[in-house]
Structure 1
Amino acid sequence: MKKKILAGFFLATLICGFAFAQDSNALEAGTGTITYQAENTNTSAEEEFSFLLMNYFKDKNPSLVQVTVNFFRERQLVTEDMQMPLVGFYAELFRDKNLKEKILSEIDSLNIKSVSNFFHSVAEFDVDKFYANPEANPNVNDMFWGSFFASGKTKYLDLIIDNAVKYHDEKVDLVKFLTGDSACWSLASNAQQYKEVREHLEKSRQKGEAVIDYILNTDPDEIRLNTIFFIQEQRKNGLWQ
């Protein structure tokens, strides 16, 4: 069985253990669907963690440290699908040395080695160097979203918009196509939820008016379906097997 293509992990779904995934076998059979896969049932700690991270850029909620600790005390691990958005979020957050030291100390007090190792790795990660020359990959969009939610800096939205504009019409490289379409989907979804995202998209039309109009005027569910349909057509033509 071929591996699933994971397209467009972004913070709004992944924090609570969901994956925007596409089953390549189903696509080959002509029945491709995008599914949400829940790893476990949401708890109040998970919901609080998700809400706080996705809105932190608005008010820099001081309960972040305790909410982070509560979440990982209950969760006990950092799953693979959570890693990229959390790296983006905490790498941006750790620019504040005092906050970094406080979070690391509290996380270490949990005595969960894998979680401590993850956070210390993020603390040592050179996010600016990585962002200076990011690879085309849908998971990298999740890092950009994480950094935006931590800071509200629109330069991270610009990186996602750039991926949407550059790769939305990609017809050769599947990973680049998924990078572009996951950028479109996540921008469309978050533009519905956050006026800051919508307003920045409207100001960025010069980057690619047709693509940005598509993002602003197309339902995120329709974007997902368009992604599936295009991949199906490519495979019918012998591509992206």
Structure 2
Amino acid sequence: MDYAFHWGVFLEQAAANETYLDWMISGLKVTIALGLSSWIIALAIGSVLGVLRTVPNKWLSGIAATYVEIFRNIPLLVQLFIWYFVGPELLPGGEAIKQMNPFTQQFLAAMLCLGTFTAARVCEQVRSGINSLPRGQKNAGLAMGFTLPQTYRYVLLPMAFRVIVPPLTSEFLNIFKNSAVASTIGLLELAAQGRQLVDYTARPYESFIAVTVLYALINFTVMLIMRWVERRTRVPGFIGGK
């Protein structure tokens, strides 16, 4: 390949008091903030829905199942466009949303989209974790005088979440990778900053190698954290236990 790499391009001035490296770091910060905030939403909503999918009430379990089918079967990009373009027209206070700073609009739309989309996948992980537990655990909790909500809170969920740490790790990683779709609505996250750097410098190899390394760094960090969590929470006799 006849290509002369020029890694010093990242130290060249891109704008007033900014280098191209500053652009990449800015995109990295947005990606991390977007991924973490979306994950909080996904974990909260997905946990509630996962519980509802296992309760004996058919209406509640049906609502949760409907949510999963809708959000899991509509492409992520379509959902993002709905949140960004259609949402402000339908939600109360839509005019106030449209008058926000463009970055805030883009970030909120991407955060809600990734959070609600991933919640459907987290829901299924929580459901499978609860269903994998022996039925005797639920019966034992009820026999001890716990109400059904108390049985979930003190008996089933503490065990279920320990069982599903490995699949939750995959979903946590995916939310950072899926954040790249936010560039389609103008949010300057990591992938968008990489493309912008190519437009300004005509250095595609350096730009996207840097983007790849930064995504790998995020994923490596998440893997280390989740492996630590898995070691601290594993239960003998269950998945990951010794």
Same fold (TM > 0.5): no
Query: Between Structure 1 and Structure 2, which shows a larger proportion of helix residues?
Result: 2
- Which one has the largest radius of gyration? 2
Greater relative contact order (CA < 8 Å, ≥ 6 in sequence): 2
Normalising by structure 1, report the TM-score. 0.29
